[in-house]
């Protein structure tokens, strides 16, 4: 989770760069399109590099109290590069070895995660067993830390080189290719289905009902799968081709924006007869328009409130199904895969989807569908609260 959250900045920058490059090319602004293409390549297009570093860093930092994990991250990045096959660029002046971007982007995400976890664990094991060079007291901390990471670097680096050599003797030719064939492709096929997204959404909302932040618990587990699908879409969108995947992280974030709780807030604000819900609507409306619905979730409360159990758990799923049908019918354009910044207001949040129909989809879900789905349950709860308020007078 820490690694993915840290990556949010480069991912969003890369998403905007893709959109900018597409429109710059459309208006023949070649220099700007080329520049934005480079930005995309070095952000989203190099995501596996960042992940290889961050996975090991966060793991080591969480398991070692006296280590910030930076050395583990560097060793993990080194191992990832050692296990990445080099290519050659042939020119008139000769051939030059180069690192292909193939495994630096979405195709290398899962191998980067696995390498980061294994290297992080290996680093922690070596440190805990004291297999490090310890400098005498009085030596500056920076120097001590450099020598402390020397043995882990050599040991893990040699292992990475041996593994890389072994894979050159196989039909896969590299560790990355094996992971892509055996793990990433099957997981993407499963995770890219509507059933997987519905299962994830229902589980998230059930956790929310019990007061657990379901998004923070579940989303990091599926983010690598959904994000890799979005990266494929972005590459196709940038090339002017049809995007290959309907579902992804961008689809989920736009369609289930704010947990579709804005509809409930609107009912509280404009339909409620009870003072309790009317006041709650006034307090929650501003943050809800920016996708922040915790005030209504914990203030109503929706947590452990069986009066709202059904809509709270199922509304997101219904929104996903309607969005899927609308996309299949061609009413809504497929998502480009660009990632929106959390906290953008309603409508503007969906603008990076790549088409105005996606904005209308979000507006329809939040302003029409969501109030309708909440209405029967809210009406009953509001009536109950109104009677209770009048009885206490």
Tens of pLDDT along 128-176? 988 877 767 766 666 667 777 889 999 999 999 999 999 999 999 999 9
Digit-coded pLDDT (tens) for 292-311: 888 888 888 898 899 999 99
- Is 197 a residue whose pLDDT tops 70? yes
Residue-level pLDDT at 143: 65
**pLDDT interval class at 70 (50, 70, 90):** very high
Q: What is the pLDDT at residue 214?
A: 82
How many Å separate Cα 277 from the centre of its chain? Answer: 34
pLDDT band at 115, cuts 50/70/90? Answer: very high
> Which pLDDT score, from 0 to 100, does residue 110 have?
86
Percent with pLDDT over 70 in the chain: 97
pLDDT of amino acid 281: 92
Model-level pTM?
A: 0.73
Provide, rounded to the nearest whole percent, the portion of the chain with pLDDT above 90. 48
pLDDT at 142: 67
């Amino acid at each position: 989770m820490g690694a993915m959250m840290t990556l949010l900045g480069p991912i969003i920058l890369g998403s905007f760069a893709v959109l900018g490059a597409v429109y710059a090319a459309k208006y023949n602004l070649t220099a700007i399109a080329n520049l934005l293409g480079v930005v995309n390549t070095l952000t989203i297009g190099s995501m596996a590099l960042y992940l290889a570093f961050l996975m090991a860093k966060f793991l080591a930092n969480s398991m070692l109290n006296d280590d910030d994990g930076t050395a583990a991250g560097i060793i993990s990045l080194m191992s990832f590069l050692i296990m990445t096959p080099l290519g050659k660029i042939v020119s008139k002046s000769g051939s030059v070895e180069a690192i292909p971007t193939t495994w630096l982007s979405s195709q290398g995400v899962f191998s980067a995660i696995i390498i980061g976890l294994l290297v992080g664990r290996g680093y922690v094991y070596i440190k805990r067993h004291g297999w490090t060079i310890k400098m005498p007291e009085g030596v500056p901390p920076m120097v001590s830390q450099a020598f402390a990471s020397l043995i882990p670097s050599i040991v893990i680096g040699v292992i990475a080189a041996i593994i890389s050599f072994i894979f050159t003797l196989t039909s896969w030719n590299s560790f990355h290719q094996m992971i892509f064939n055996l793990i990433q492709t099957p997981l993407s096929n499963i995770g890219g289905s509507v059933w997987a997204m519905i299962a994830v959404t229902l589980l998230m909302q059930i956790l929310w009902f019990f007061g657990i932040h379901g998004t923070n618990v579940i989303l990091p587990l599926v983010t690598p799968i959904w994000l890799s699908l979005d990266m494929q879409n972005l590459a196709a969108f940038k090339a002017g081709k049809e995007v290959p995947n309907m579902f992804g992280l961008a689809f989920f974030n736009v369609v289930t924006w704010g947990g579709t709780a804005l509809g409930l807030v609107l009912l509280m604000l404009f339909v409620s007869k009870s003072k309790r819900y009317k006041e709650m609507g006034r307090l929650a409306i501003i943050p809800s328009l920016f996708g922040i619905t915790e005030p209504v979730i914990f203030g109503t409360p929706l947590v452990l409130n069986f009066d709202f159990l059904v809509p709270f758990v199922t509304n997101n799923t219904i929104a996903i199904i309607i969005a899927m049908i609308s996309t299949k019918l061609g009413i809504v354009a497929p998502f480009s895969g660009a990632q929106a910044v959390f906290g953008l207001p309603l409508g503007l949040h969906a603008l990076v989807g790549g088409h105005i129909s996606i904005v209308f989809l979000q507006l329809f879900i939040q302003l029409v569908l969501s109030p309708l789905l909440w209405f029967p349950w809210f009406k009953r709860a509001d009536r109950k609260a109104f009677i209770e308020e009048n009885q206490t007078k």
